[in-house]
Amino acid sequence: METFESLVRAEFAPKNTYLNTASTGLLPARTVAALHAAALSLAEGVPQDMFADVEACRAAFARIVGVPASRVAAGASVAVHSGLIAAALPEGAEVLTAEADFSSLVNPFHVRGDLKVRSVPLERLAESVRPDTALVAVSAVQSVDGRIADLPAIREAARAHGARTFIDVSQAVGWLPLAADDFDYVSSVAYKWVVCPRGVAFLVVPEDFGGLTPVFAGWAAGEHPWDSTYGPVKELAHSARRFDESPALLAYTGARHSLALVEELGVAAVHAHDLSLADRFRAGLATLGHEPLPAPGSAIVSVPGLGRRQPDLSRAGVEVSDRAGNLRAAFHLYNTPADVDRLLDVLSG
C-alpha cells in the first residue's frame, strides 16, 4: 500500500527548495505525462477526447469540496466568476468585502459602478453584515498573509440578514478542509494548492443557480453542446454547466490527473502535513528574532520586512514571494522539514 510520502515522491522532484505554492503549485509527473500525450495527439491529428477530462475534473472538484457535480461550473478564472455574480446584482446593492482582498475577487464588483462596495478589516467581516447587505464576498484564506476568514461566523451573519455569500477558495482548496455547501457561491482557480495547470477554475452554485444569468454562455453551455454551435443556444444545460466557459482542454486534461492525486492523498492528510511544516517555520523564526503576521492554522506564513530578501533567497535556490513587503512562504504536500530548515538557514545567514 502506498503511503503519503511514497505517493508524493513518485510525483515530485523539484530541483530547488520550492516554497511558493501560494503563487503557483508544482505539476505532478502524472500531469506532465498527460499533457505531453494530449499535445502529441493534437500534433498527430488524432486528438483524444479531452471533453471527458473536463467532466472528470468537474466530478473530482465536486468531491473535494463536498457538493454534487451538477452544481459545479468549469472555467478559467475567479475574475470571470466574480463578474458573473456581479452582473446578477440589482443596481445599488451592497457588497461587503475584506480590506485588501485579492483583486480578482473584488474588482468586478467595483467596475459595475452602480453597486455599493464596502470594505472592512477581515476580522470584522461577520459583525459588519447589515440588513441591506446583498452579498458578502471574501477569500477563505488571504493571499497576502495567509489569514483564514472566520467562515462559520460569516455564514451565520449573512443568513441572519438575508445576504448571499461568495467565497474564493483559491488559497485554501487542497489543504484546508472545506464544505462548499455552506455557502451560496464558491470559486477557485486550480493552479495553486490542487497543483493543476493554469487555465482551470471552478464555480459552485446553488441548486437553483442562485439568481445567476449565464451571460457568458456559448455553445459549451448548451444541454447538447454539439447541437448548440450555431445561432442562439436553444437549450442551456440543466446543471451548473450552463455557466461553463469554453474550456482550455489541454489544461483540463492535465488537471484530471492532478485532482486525482489530491483525492488519493486526502485533504485531511495534506492539511496535517502542511501545518506541521508551517509551524516548524514559525518556531524557527522565533529563534531568529522574527515574528510572522498572525495567521493561526494557516499553511501560508508571512514575515514583515523580509520581502526584500526574496531575490537573495531565489539566488540561493529557495523560492518564496515578496508580497506587500512581507516574505511569504507557502508549505505544501511536496515540501519537507529539510525545506523549512533550508529557508531558515539562508535567512539566518
Instruction: Tell me the average pLDDT across 179-186.
Output: 98
Residue 149: name the closest of 158, 136, 140 by CA. Answer: 140
Q: With bands split at pLDDT 50, 70 and 90, how would you rate the model's confidence at 140?
A: very high
Classify 4-27+266-348 by CATH class: alpha beta
Residue 138 has pLDDT above 80, yes or no: yes
- Intrachain domains 4-27+266-348 and 43-264 with the same fold: no
**Which pLDDT belongs to residue 227?**
94
Cα distance between residue 256 and residue 195, in whole Å = 10
Cα distance between residue 92 and residue 233, in whole Å = 31
Q: With bands split at pLDDT 50, 70 and 90, how would you rate the model's confidence at 349?
A: confident
Is the pTM here over 0.85, yes or no? yes
Residue 94 has pLDDT above 90, yes or no: yes
Residue 271 has pLDDT above 80, yes or no: yes
Instruction: Determine what percent of the chain is predicted with pLDDT higher than 90.
Output: 98
Q: With bands split at pLDDT 50, 70 and 90, how would you rate the model's confidence at 86?
A: very high
Q: With bands split at pLDDT 50, 70 and 90, how would you rate the model's confidence at 98?
A: very high
Cα distance between residue 110 and residue 146, in whole Å = 24
**Which pLDDT belongs to residue 193?**
98
Residue 1 has pLDDT above 80, yes or no: no
Report the CATH architecture of 43-264: 3-Layer(aba) Sandwich (3.40)
Q: What is the pLDDT of residues 328-337, one digit of tens each?
A: 999 999 999 9
Domain boundaries, the chain: 4-27+266-348, 43-264
Residues 6+ positions from 2 with CB-CB distance below 8 Å: 10
Mean pLDDT (the chain) is 97
Residue 275 has pLDDT above 90, yes or no: yes
**Which pLDDT belongs to residue 2?**
85
Q: What is the pLDDT of residues 112-126, one digit of tens each?
A: 999 999 999 999 999
Instruction: Tell me the average pLDDT across 301-318.
Output: 97
Angle at 75 between CA 72 and CA 79, to 5 degrees: 110
Q: What is the pLDDT of residues 18-71, one digit of tens each?
A: 999 999 999 999 999 999 999 999 999 998 889 999 999 999 999 999 999 999
Three cell numbers, residue 346:
539562508
Dihedral class, residue 26 (left if φ above 0, else alpha if ψ from -120 to 50, else beta) = beta
